[in-house]
Structure 1
Amino acid sequence: MFDLLISAAQLREGLAGPGWLVFDVRHDLADHAAGRRAYEAGHVPGAIYLDHELQLAAPKTGSNGRHPLPALADFAALMRAQGLRPGIQAVVYDAGNSMFAAHLWWMLRWLGHENVAVLDGGWQAWLAAGGAVETRVNTGSVTEAQALQDRGYGSAPAMPAVDAAAVLANLEAPAFTVVDARAANRYRGEVEPMDPVAGHIPGALNRPNSLNVESDGRFKPPAALRAEFEALLGGVSAADVVHQCGSGITACHNLFAMELAGLKGSRLYPGSWSEWCSDPGRPVARGAG
């Protein structure tokens, strides 16, 4: 079974047998309908489309970020409806550098599903490997999904996360190191295309998630990722790292890359910058550090 990365060749082989469930999460933050259009134009055979705006986020309140994490029970119900159950191999892909795929990977692990892998290189890798393309819209089966609920999925989070209150308290009594996955110019506060306030959480380190992949969108080798993260963290253990970004999506890309590098146990701040900056009482830093 796969719990981190899977190649296009391995996916093709796996789909020849039973027990696999593939999720297409292609998305464009500037055009929310683009992912659905891309899916309908062609996708991995059997893949089910999930929308990051409409299905994988809770309703926005104006103070809970751009992609609020849904209640665990609501997400469990969504995945039961797709046919997720214990023992199934889930695979997630997108058409970028796997940032949306890594986000759903984290959510599924948060739910308690261990066998979930990201398709390395995403949709482009599938096409390059000669993978078949399907245009039929697929929906999940719920006939076997009740087993997921019976096994207790969704009863308690299985991946650690922190909230804004914990991040704020950490400024006064440091207990963890925050790593910001946004591009360097956004981190420094020079530009801000998504949120009303520019800058970063005071004390946060910057690791643009784009550094985790090669030019073809495949992840760098684990040894290279480990060396880069260790150089950034300067001796801080993985368990003492909290990841954030603009809205909790690309933060999962850094968390996934650390897991791939063998640096396991870091945490996510799901609300991230979009939640943090919604409260003018929370401090904002600008510049390189």
Structure 2
Amino acid sequence: MSPLIQITDPHILDGSAILIDVRGGADAHARYLAGHLPNAVFAGLDADLASHPADAAIGGRHPLPALEGFAETLARWGVTPGSHVIVYDDKAAAMGGARLWWMLRSIGHTNVQVINGGLKAATDAGIQLATDEYQNTAVAPYPVAAEYANTVDIEEVKKAAKDENRVVIDVREGVRYQGITEPLDLVAGHIPGAVNLFYSTSMSPEGKYLTSQALTTLYKDTIGDVKPENVVVHCGSGVTACHTLLGMEHAGITGPKLYVGSWSEWSRNDLPIGTGMDK
């Protein structure tokens, strides 16, 4: 199954799939109520897709929620192992949509897709949005595994960034990677040895992913001959990195790992800081 689904696909509106609208920010719920796809349940990036640590030095700003809690959240949304789940956000999958896609894939749920272009694609297609608080019938808690798959911790990233047979990709904007500015975390710069590939380079001017062929060229230029399972992707707090992981999946590059803690964790642990362009 392709990780992306086009807005013209009938499964989006025919009631056969679980639709999930993911929003981030303090006004997330208000934006959902202002307009969402019919029969789409609301998911809050901060409330549902992350835990809330007292210290971002341990796990970063958006650590993954406990698996038991995520299982209960999926149950509240009506998601079972047999559900076709379609997710989207209002940031062209650059925020919550890709994060939820990755989380579902990480627990073994493969029947999940992200709407290419997100909410904008829907409005551009003339779909009339709903303004209700839609809820599905709750089901039994999702049977999750013992841990999220395809993640690496800070100790593993330390090793990977120094290994010529591995690649660590930082998908933040170039000015953040180079240490010119840092609007969200305490220290500017990057993990020494990490390469920079801004996540938005995978997008067309219309806010949709490039073709799979174009994405293959883009990502292969970055990872070279390194095996996909030896690629680590990170961002500021483990959210936009999922956007790149989705793009890689669309390009047929399967197996890269997510460093969830990302720069928000690394920069708070008195570790080496790189500036400028490493490569």
Q: TM-score range by the shorter chain?
A: over 0.9
Q: Within the alignment, does 1:247 sit opposite 2:240 as a pair?
A: no
| TM-score, L = length of structure 1 | 0.90
Residue number in structure 2 paired with 1:128: 124
| TM-score, L = length of structure 2 | 0.93
Q: Within the alignment, does 1:42 sit opposite 2:35 as a pair?
A: yes
C-alpha distance in structure 1 between counterparts of 2:13 and 2:245, whole Å: 31
Q: Within the alignment, does 1:258 sit opposite 2:253 as a pair?
A: no
SS of corresponding position for 2:28: helix
Residue number in structure 2 paired with 1:84: 79
**Equivalent pairs: percent with the same residue?**
37
Residue number in structure 2 paired with 1:114: 110
SS of corresponding position for 1:99: coil
C-alpha distance in structure 2 between counterparts of 1:125 and 1:16, whole Å: 14
Which segment is superposed worse, 16-25 or 37-46? 16-25
Counterparts in 2 of 1:59-78, with a 5 A limit?
59-62=52-55, 63=57, 64-78=59-73
Tell me the number of residue pairs that the alignment of Structure 1 and Structure 2 aligns.
275
Instruction: Write the deviation string for residues 132-167 of structure 1: whole angstroms up to 9, x where unpaired.
Output: 21111012321xx22x64xxx312446311011111
Alpha carbons of structure 1 residues 231 and 138: separation in structure 2 relative to 1, 3 Å: same
Q: Within the alignment, does 1:162 sit opposite 2:157 as a pair?
A: no
Displacement of 1:95:
1.4
2:232–2:257 contact (8 Å) kept in structure 1: yes
Alpha carbons of structure 1 residues 172 and 222: separation in structure 2 relative to 1, 3 Å: closer
C-alpha distance in structure 1 between counterparts of 2:148 and 2:16, whole Å: 22
What RMSD in Å do the two structures reach over aligned CA positions? 1.6
Displacement of 1:182:
0.2
Counterparts in 2 of 1:10-49, with a 5 A limit?
10=9, 13-27=10-24, 32-49=25-42
> Any stretches of 5+ residues in structure 1 without a counterpart?
none
Instruction: Write the deviation string for residues 106-128 of structure 1: whole angstroms up to 9, x where unpaired.
Output: 01111221111110111110011
> Any stretches of 5+ residues in structure 2 without a counterpart?
none
C-alpha distance in structure 2 between counterparts of 1:267 and 1:245, whole Å: 12
Displacement of 1:237:
1.7
